[in-house]
């Protein structure tokens, strides 16, 4: 990238400044800034006439909830849920300091730019503009800004759902992560992928055992070698297709756009966004960590690997059967964390408002409901019977590699996308 421009970048309706300010509050685990971010957004909401409340299960792990009263008490409330935390960023790999919030080259740079301080900035800006015009929503809108999503949400959404379910009283539908982003179809039209399902999580530990001992002796049952064989089997394994309701519309759309009939080939041919869609076709296993050995001349008695397993809604049992069959008796398989899958259908007041808002901003656009592989706080709110729609509206430039931005180096969001997102959310709040 070019040298960061500290001049006077465009700040459409303040959303760029707000996004940049939020990125500068380091809410990664090392930054410990969730309370500062919560106090910052609470002040913004207070300034708009809302009455936000801060909640902490653990010290400094803050969430904020505010309810905007609607004019029609007969209508169910809408939840707008976002997380304030971000994942770590290794500054050595970045073009800009990851918590600088630089605005340069028409983009806002920094950790959280798309995951998901963009949405926090867009929602606050859209609601501020609507309220300033004298608007009131017909249904109650509950705005929740949450801690700990990236680590599973147990200190944020998970705890609030258990300890303070009253905050979400009357909510039947939610918007939040992930989805809502556009994809250029090549003929000038765009598709917007809205998340209606998320894959479930099964984090596994593979453990190999042996006698261990002196490195000068012969060790037929070396646990490192057994573990290595097991993880190679995992890496080479291609799991079978697992069809789910939530992927049907995206598969059909991709076939139509590309002419490819095989679902994997069709998603591949769609473009970079295919990286987000392909994992929804099957259970997946990513090897994420290895641990073994203490000293150069000691064969260890144990070796471990971490596997991030993700299952298609309805196929959790199959995931465990797949991995056990794969590794046989080379290693023990242990589940260390489980997160439910969720799935809903794309019908009702909120999907109607999503379609209308996108159509108004981008006439002729197609809305494609889909499953996404990324876990979200939607799974916690699902326990209260709240249907989650992943809708973080971003009109992205053609060819933009959105999938690589999530947890990636040089995470950034185009200013034009934020501006369009604010307009789409304003229309959405009008319609919802």
Binding segment toward Zn ion, per CB under 5 A, in 13-21, 108-116, 411-419, 422-430: 108-116
User: Which of 26, 34, 44, 115: binder of Zn ion (CB under 5 A)?
Assistant: 115
Are 429 and 139 spatial neighbours (Cβ–Cβ below 8 Å)?
Answer: no
**Which phi and psi angles does 232 have, rounded to 5°?**
-65, -40
Give the Cβ contact number of residue 32 at 10 Å. 13
Buried b (16+ CB within 10 A) or exposed e, 310-330: bbbbbbbebbbebbeebbeeb
If the CB atoms of residues 115 and 410 are measured against Zn ion, the closer one turns out to be 115
Please work out the total of residues on this chain that contact Zn ion, with binding judged by CB under 5 A. Answer: 2
If the CB atoms of residues 115 and 155 are measured against Zn ion, the closer one turns out to be 115
Binding segment toward Zn ion, per CB under 5 A, in 65-73, 113-121, 263-271, 346-354: 113-121
If the CB atoms of residues 109 and 315 are measured against Zn ion, the closer one turns out to be 109
CB of 299 to Zn ion, least distance (A): 42
What is d(CA 128, CA 193) in angstroms, rounded to the nearest whole number? 26
CB of 156 to Zn ion, least distance (A): 11
User: Would you count residue 113 as binding Zn ion (CB under 5 A)?
Assistant: no
CB of 312 to Zn ion, least distance (A): 20
Token pair for residue 92? Answer: 């050595």
Binding segment toward Zn ion, per CB under 5 A, in 36-44, 95-103, 116-124, 294-302: 116-124
If the CB atoms of residues 9 and 393 are measured against Zn ion, the closer one turns out to be 393
CB of 150 to Zn ion, least distance (A): 6
User: Would you count residue 144 as binding Zn ion (CB under 5 A)?
Assistant: no
If the CB atoms of residues 81 and 107 are measured against Zn ion, the closer one turns out to be 81
Are 122 and 24 spatial neighbours (Cβ–Cβ below 8 Å)?
Answer: no
Q: Is the bond preceding residue 178 a cis peptide, omega within 30 degrees?
A: yes
CB of 18 to Zn ion, least distance (A): 18
Give the Cβ contact number of residue 256 at 10 Å. 11
If the CB atoms of residues 54 and 151 are measured against Zn ion, the closer one turns out to be 151
Determine the residue with CB nearest Zn ion. 115
Long-range contacts, stretch 381-384, CB < 8 angstroms, 24+ apart = 381/79, 381/81, 381/157, 381/161, 381/168, 381/171, 381/174, 382/340, 382/342, 383/161, 384/161, 384/165, 384/168, 384/171
Residue ranges of alpha helices (H) inside 178-237 are: 223-236
CB of 81 to Zn ion, least distance (A): 11
CB of 41 to Zn ion, least distance (A): 16
Give the number of C-alpha atoms closer than 13 A to the C-alpha of residue 52, restricted to the C-beta side. 22
What is d(CA 166, CA 181) in angstroms, rounded to the nearest whole number? 31
User: Would you count residue 116 as binding Zn ion (CB under 5 A)?
Assistant: yes
Which residue ranges make up the site for Zn ion (CB under 5 A)?
Answer: 115-116
């Amino acid at each position: 990238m070019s040298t960061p421009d500290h001049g006077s970048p465009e700040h459409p309706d303040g959303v760029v400044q707000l996004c940049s300010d939020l990125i500068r509050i380091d809410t990664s685990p090392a930054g410990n800034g969730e309370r500062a971010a919560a106090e910052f957004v609470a002040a913004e909401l207070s300034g708009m006439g809302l009455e936000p409340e801060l909640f902490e299960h653990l010290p400094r792990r803050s969430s904020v909830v505010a309810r905007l009263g609607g004019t029609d008490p007969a209508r169910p409330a809408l939840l707008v849920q976002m997380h304030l935390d971000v994942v770590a960023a290794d500054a050595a790999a970045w073009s800009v300091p990851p918590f600088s919030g630089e605005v340069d080259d028409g983009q806002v740079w920094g950790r959280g730019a798309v995951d998901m301080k963009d949405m926090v900035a867009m929602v606050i800006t859209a609601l501020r503009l609507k309220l300033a015009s004298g608007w009131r929503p017909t249904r109650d809108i509950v705005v929740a800004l949450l801690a700990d999503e990236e680590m599973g949400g147990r200190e944020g959404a998970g705890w609030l759902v258990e300890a303070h379910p009253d905050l979400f009283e009357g909510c039947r539908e939610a918007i939040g992560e992930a989805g809502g982003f556009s994809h250029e179809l090549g003929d000038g039209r765009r598709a917007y992928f809205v998340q209606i399902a998320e894959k479930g999580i099964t984090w596994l530990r593979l453990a190999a055992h042996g006698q261990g001992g002196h490195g000068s002796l012969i060790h037929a049952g070396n646990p490192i070698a057994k573990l290595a064989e097991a993880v190679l089997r995992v890496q080479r394994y291609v799991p079978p297709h697992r069809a789910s309701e939530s992927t049907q519309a995206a598969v059909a759309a991709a076939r139509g756009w590309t002419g490819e009939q095989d679902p994997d080939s069709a998603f591949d041919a769609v473009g970079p966004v295919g990286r987000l869609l392909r994992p929804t076709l099957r259970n997946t296993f990513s090897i994420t960590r290895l641990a073994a050995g203490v000293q150069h001349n000691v064969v260890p008695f144990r070796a471990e690997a971490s596997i991030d397993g993700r299952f298609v809604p309805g196929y959790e049992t199959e995931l465990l059967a797949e991995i056990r069959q794969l590794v046989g008796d080379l290693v023990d398989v242990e589940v260390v964390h489980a997160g439910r899958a969720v799935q809903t259908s794309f019908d009702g007041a909120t999907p109607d408002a999503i379609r209308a808002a996108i159509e108004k901003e981008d006439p002729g656009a197609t809305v494609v409901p889909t499953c996404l592989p990324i876990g979200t706080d939607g799974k916690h709110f699902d326990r209260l019977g709240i249907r989650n729609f992943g809708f973080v509206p971003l009109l992205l430039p053609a060819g933009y590699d959105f999938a690589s931005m999530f947890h990636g180096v040089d995470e950034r969001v185009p200013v034009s996308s934020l501006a369009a997102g604010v307009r789409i959310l304003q229309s959405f709040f009008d319609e919802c």
